[in-house]
Structure 1
Amino acid sequence: MIILIGNQKGGVGKSTFTLLLANYLTQLRYCKVTVLDLDPQQSIVQQYQKAKLLENKEPYEVRSASLEDFPTLLPALHLNPEELTLIDLPGRLDEDGLIPVVSSADLVLCPFCYDEFSFGSTVLFSVVLQKINPELELAYIPNRMMANLSDDTLQEVDRQLGKFGLVTYGLPDWIDFQWVNTLHTPEIVLPLVRRVMDQLFTRYLSFLLEDLSAGELNDD
């Protein structure tokens, strides 16, 4: 299964969310995960390399790639249907080579913020994705939520994005999220993270565990 994490609006925390999701899936759901970093900034790859320098055992593999590389990588991504591939997308819709990536995806997770510019960019991002791949599942993760958001803004943004897909529980704007890396999610944010990830897992991914259990029973 190929899961894209992206938004064309920078600063919404998509790379941090990718790490949170990878940590959750491997450490709490015991899934096999590979992260493919297609963002030119390569922030996830940098985190991964730092962890390797400290000689820690990585719970999942992180690979660096470009959009141009993706068509040659795609056959390998489909070899093991039980493995989840998380792809951190570039932040621009006009990047050459985006169409094959979106066309191959099963699910897009879109972190966003409750400001006007982020909302407009998220809607445009969603429209373009659905034109490329009409069967694509979309889910939206409110991120870096400020305490002074009005209920009217929350409800209207959620209503509009709800036309495209699921809007999950939100993640607050806490400095502790800056300490997320390829090995660790801070204990203080875990309850909030689990709430969001459990919601996504139940909606989109729980069938994977059912398939795995059925396969193990058949092997026995």
Structure 2
Amino acid sequence: MVNSIRGPRRCSAAAALLLSAALSLTACGERRGTDAAPAAPGALPTASPSAAVGASPGAPGASPYVEPGAGDGAPHYGDNNAHRRSGEMSPASAKDARREADRIEPVLKRLWEEGKWDPQSVRSALRPLGYEEEKTGPKGERLGGTLSVREMEPRFQADHYVTPEGTRVGLRVHDDACVTAFVQKTNYQVKTNGPYMESGCFEPPFAH
């Protein structure tokens, strides 16, 4: 009786041990789906989505120095380019500037059609309209007059500056209103705008 009972118990105990060992091995070899794979030696950490290229200003990871509306996203773009923005014209000044632009436009059109775009020809053609040429002092202070006739702005090409043929025109209608124009071989243009902070009626050149 004793032997008939002991044999099955030993088998059951042995089977239980084998099953337990098998379960332990299975659990040890399992990889959970939420665990990250180990990084290779020397590998850089993966960037988080908030640091991705193209993150909008104000989003997590975006540069704190980018100003809203900055032209190219450069730091302090607005402050650095304030001198390139023309001033505001009052409605009355804008109306007066438009009236003078309508007087100047036919003169420049005629000169362009005649192939005359040098400063002397433009100056001579505009004098009959009654404008007095602007005069400035040694420090750039205005000494009277409202009309300024100049060569075209020099442009940097290859390794030197070149002054294209043509003429620029600036007319100070009021302290807050100008007419700016140009005439050259390819075209001519007349427009109205407020004065610029550092260069009066003429738009300041881009720095090279």
TM-score using structure 1 length = 0.19
- Between structure 1 and structure 2, the one with the greater Rg is 2
TM-score using structure 2 length = 0.19
Question: Higher relative CO (CA 8 A, sep ≥ 6), structure 1 or 2?
Answer: 1
